[in-house]
A = this chain, B = another copy of it.
């Protein structure tokens, strides 16, 4: 419990709801390896029978575990224990180590550490800028931007959606519009053409997954995602890239480091 809560009113703990008790049971069973990663939980009717509760209670218990990201449901098949460990993302180091400073490199390194294979898939297009992106990039509403969307997998598991927006004015016709941006990634290519980023800002929000994200990341619509917006600026404070990153919240730990003197 810990100190400092003394003065808070705590009502007598009402007997824990059955579906919570069952969720606790199943959680322990998963953690002790009774249901190993990738295996199926007993079906809801079977849980109901085994623990002498209604199917509704069994269902609600599974809903709790899904919310925690402990299991995932394949409809028509069953409830699967998730296989991946928590992934760590260090935003500062990603940008600092220039020679592998592209997202792919940092991502690969992180997964290699865990014995997993990184796979990613890039799509490039040119589109009119959405309002918020246009605003940040300081271009006129509707002006064209280069869009790089990258989907990333850890092994066979989809884990990240990243959408990068660059002003077409500076990116069109450069290696930034190519699938492979070469060593150092897009930040090195931006530097090549005189727009090397000098500072970064990330803002982090937690929200429910949108339908499409939920399907692609294989999570419930009720599941939360981390929505990170990274903004890269030149030394003159010109914004040269906006990057929207979406991660399944249960699957990631975000790490930020800085030193005291820094402003």
Chain A residues within 8 Å of B, Cβ to Cβ:
1-6, 8, 10, 20, 64, 67-68, 86, 88, 91-93, 95-96, 121-123, 125, 127, 147, 149-151, 163, 187, 196-208, 212, 215-216, 221-222, 224, 226, 249-250, 253-263
Q: Which residues does chain B contribute within 8 Å of A224, judged by CB atoms?
A: 206, 224, 249
- Asked if A262 and B253 sit within 8 Å, CB to CB, the answer is no
Q: Which residues does chain B contribute within 8 Å of A68, judged by CB atoms?
A: 207-208
* Given A201-B257, A258-B200, A260-B197, residue A67 in contact with residue B222 (CB < 8 A): yes
The residue among A91, A93, A207, A256 with the most chain B CB atoms within 10 A of its own CB is: A256
In-complex Cβ contact of A8 among B125, B215, B250 (8 A)? B215
Q: Which residues does chain B contribute within 8 Å of A92, judged by CB atoms?
A: 258, 262
Q: Which residues does chain B contribute within 8 Å of A5, judged by CB atoms?
A: 149, 212, 216
> A234 to nearest B CB, angstroms?
10
Give bound CA distance, A206 to B254, whole Å. 10
> A261 to nearest B CB, angstroms?
8
The 3 lowest CB-CB distance pairs between A and B, nearest first, are A4-B149, A4-B123, A206-B249
- Asked if A203 and B254 sit within 8 Å, CB to CB, the answer is yes
Give bound CA distance, A95 to B163, whole Å. 31
- Asked if B255 and A202 sit within 8 Å, CB to CB, the answer is yes
- Asked if B253 and A203 sit within 8 Å, CB to CB, the answer is yes
Q: Which residues does chain B contribute within 8 Å of A206, judged by CB atoms?
A: 206, 224, 226, 249-250
